[in-house]
Amino acid sequence: MASVEKARKMGGNWLLRLVAFSGLALLAALIWFITLRLEGEPPRLQWDVTSPLYLGKSVELPLTVADPKSGLRRLHVVLNKDGKDVVLGDIAFPTAGWLGLEKIQQETTRIKIDPAAMGLTDGKALLRIALWDHSWRNWWHGNLTDLQTEVVIDTRPPAIENLTPQNYVNQGGAGLAVYRLSEPCPTSGVRVGTHFFPGYSGYYPDKAIHIAFFGMSHLQGAGTEIVLEARDAAGNSSRTRWPYHFRKKAFKKDALQVSDGFINQILPEFHALLPAKPNASLKEKFLFINRELRQANYEQIVAAAGKTENAILWKGPFLRLPNSAPRAGFADHRTYLYEGKEIDQQDHLGVDLASLARSPVPAANNGVVVFTGFIGIYGQTVIVDHGFGLFSMYSHLSQIAVKAGERVAKEAILGHTGSTGLAVGDHLHFSILVRHLFVDPIEWWDPHWIQDNVTLKLDSVRSSSGQAG
Ligand SMILES: [Zn+2]
C-alpha cells in the first residue's frame, strides 16, 4: 500500500502507477501460487477392504488414489512378513507443463500379489500403503496418507473330510452330508449337479464339523454327481466327491381335464393377479396362472425359505394329516387337457391329502413359522422352518391359526384345510422343501428312513468325534 500512496503523491504519474500496480499484482499472484502449492490436504486412498484381508494364491487388489489439489506424487505399497519388506508397488506420478501445473488427480491401479512367487509363506503379514501428493508442504515432500492393515496369507485350499461314507439317495429325495473342514470357510456345502445346498456348523460343539441337508430333484437321474465344496476366505476352494447309491423312482403320469366351468370357478381368487388383458380367453387366463404365476409363487416360497435356524428343531418322524387319503403324489407329471387338446404340463411337487372338509391341520414337526398368507396357486399357506434349511409347507387352507415368527410344537394346529388357490375340492397340499428344492415328503413320514439317513449318521459322527451334540 505504501508504494501506491507514494505513486499518488508523486502527482499521478501514470507510468509509475502502472509499475506499482503490476508489482502488486505479481506479488499477489506469487502469494496465491505459494499458498496453492503449500496446501495441506492429504491425498485420498480408496480402500474398502474389511480387515483382516485374506490373500490367496494370486490376488489383484484394486486401489483408487486421488488428490484433486496438488496431484498425485507417489504410491508405495509394501508387505511386511516376518520382519522382511517386500515391495508390491512403487509408482511415481509425474507432473508436466509450465510450473508443473498439469497433474494426475486420480488413478486406479491394481496391486498384484503372488505370495509363492514373492517367497512369502502362509501366515499373518502387514500391508502398508503410503501415498504422497505434489504439495510443497513438509519441505517439498508433499502431504502423506498412509494406511496399515493386517493381512493373512493363505495359499492352501481347505481340506474337506467326509464323515458319512455310506449314503443312499432317492430320486426326488433328500440327504444329509456331515463333513469336517480344516479351516473356517465362509461358504461350504453340497453340490448336487447344478443345485447347491450350503452347510453350516452349529450342530456339534466342534465348529469344524458342518452338516448340510440337501435334495436331489425328481428331474435328476442316475450319474448325478454329488460333491462337497468349500471355499476359504482367501478364495482357495476344494471339492471332494460324496459317494452314494442312487435309487431310481418312478413318478406317476396324470391327465387333468381343464373345463371352462373349472376356470370360472377359480378365477375370482386370481382376478387381481392376472395381467390387464381385456380380451384374454379363459384358456389364456388359466395358462397364465398355471405357468407364470406358478413360477412367481415358487420364487415367493424360496424367498420365505431363505430364513432358517442353525439347529435341528424337529424330532422323530413327520406327521401326516390324520385320517386322510392321498389324492395326488409327489412329482406326479400332469398333462393339462382343454377341449381334448394338451395345453400344458407341470409337475406336482407335494402330496395332496383329503380328509373331512375344514379338518384341523397339525404341524408335522417342531419348528418356527416363517410364512403365513396367500401364495397364488397354493392359496392360503403356512411354511414352517425345521432348521438347517428343512421346511414343511401347508397349502389350500381355509383358515390360518398361527403367525410368522411363532414357535410351534409337533401337532400344534396351524389352520384348517380348504380349497383356496388352484384346488379342486377341500384338501391339504403338503410339501417338504430342502432350501430351494421340493423333495418327496414320504421320506420324512418314514421313521426308518429318518433313522438310517439322518439320526444314525448324526450319532455316528458324534460318537467317533467324542463330542456331545
Ligand atoms: Zn397339490
Show me where the domains of the chain are located: 44-153, 160-249, 253-439
- Residue 363 gets the label, from left (phi > 0), alpha (psi -120 to 50) or beta, of beta
Task: Kindly state the DSSP code that residue 329 receives in the 8-state scheme.
Answer: -
Local confidence pLDDT in tens for the 469 residues of the chain: 455 565 555 556 888 888 888 899 999 988 888 888 888 999 999 877 767 788 888 888 889 999 998 899 999 999 999 999 999 999 999 887 666 678 889 999 998 889 888 889 999 999 999 999 998 888 889 999 999 999 999 999 999 999 999 999 999 999 999 999 999 999 999 999 999 999 999 999 999 999 999 999 999 999 999 999 999 999 999 999 999 999 999 999 999 999 999 999 999 999 889 998 888 999 999 999 999 999 999 999 999 999 999 999 999 999 999 999 999 999 999 999 999 999 999 999 999 999 999 999 999 999 999 999 999 999 999 999 999 999 999 999 999 999 999 999 999 999 999 999 999 899 999 999 999 999 999 999 999 999 999 999 999 998 776 544 4
Three-state SS for 246? strand
Q: Which CATH superfamily is domain 160-249 in?
A: Immunoglobulins (2.60.40.10)
* pLDDT recorded at residue 188: 98
What residue type is 149 in one-letter code?
A: T
Question: For residue 366, how far is its CA from the centre of ligand 1 (angstroms)?
Answer: 23
Q: How many CB atoms lie within 10 A of CB 85?
A: 11
Question: For residue 429, how far is its CA from the centre of ligand 1 (angstroms)?
Answer: 4
What residue type is 274 in one-letter code?
A: L
Are 353 and 328 within 8 A, CB to CB? Answer: no
Question: For residue 226, how far is its CA from the centre of ligand 1 (angstroms)?
Answer: 29
Question: For residue 380, how far is its CA from the centre of ligand 1 (angstroms)?
Answer: 13
Question: For residue 434, how far is its CA from the centre of ligand 1 (angstroms)?
Answer: 18
Question: For residue 327, how far is its CA from the centre of ligand 1 (angstroms)?
Answer: 8
Question: For residue 245, how far is its CA from the centre of ligand 1 (angstroms)?
Answer: 29
Cα angle 28, 32, 36; round to 5: 170
Fold that domain 44-153 belongs to in CATH: Immunoglobulin-like (2.60.40)
Question: For residue 422, how far is its CA from the centre of ligand 1 (angstroms)?
Answer: 9
Question: For residue 175, how far is its CA from the centre of ligand 1 (angstroms)?
Answer: 23
Closest CA to 33 of 101, 103, 104: 101
CATH 1.10.10.10 fits 253-439, yes or no: no
Would the CATH topology of 44-153 be identical to that of 160-249? Answer: yes
Question: For residue 253, how far is its CA from the centre of ligand 1 (angstroms)?
Answer: 14
Question: For residue 348, how far is its CA from the centre of ligand 1 (angstroms)?
Answer: 6
Question: For residue 340, how far is its CA from the centre of ligand 1 (angstroms)?
Answer: 23
* pLDDT recorded at residue 467: 47
CA-to-CA separations, 407 to 160, 369, 371, 396, in angstroms, rounded: 35, 6, 12, 22
Which regions of 202-340 does DSSP assign to beta strands (E)? 209-215, 226-231, 237-241, 245-247, 253-257, 325-328, 332-338
Q: How many CB atoms lie within 10 A of CB 200?
A: 17
Q: If 0-12 CB within 10 Å is exposed, 13-18 middle and 19+ buried, where does residue 98 land?
A: exposed
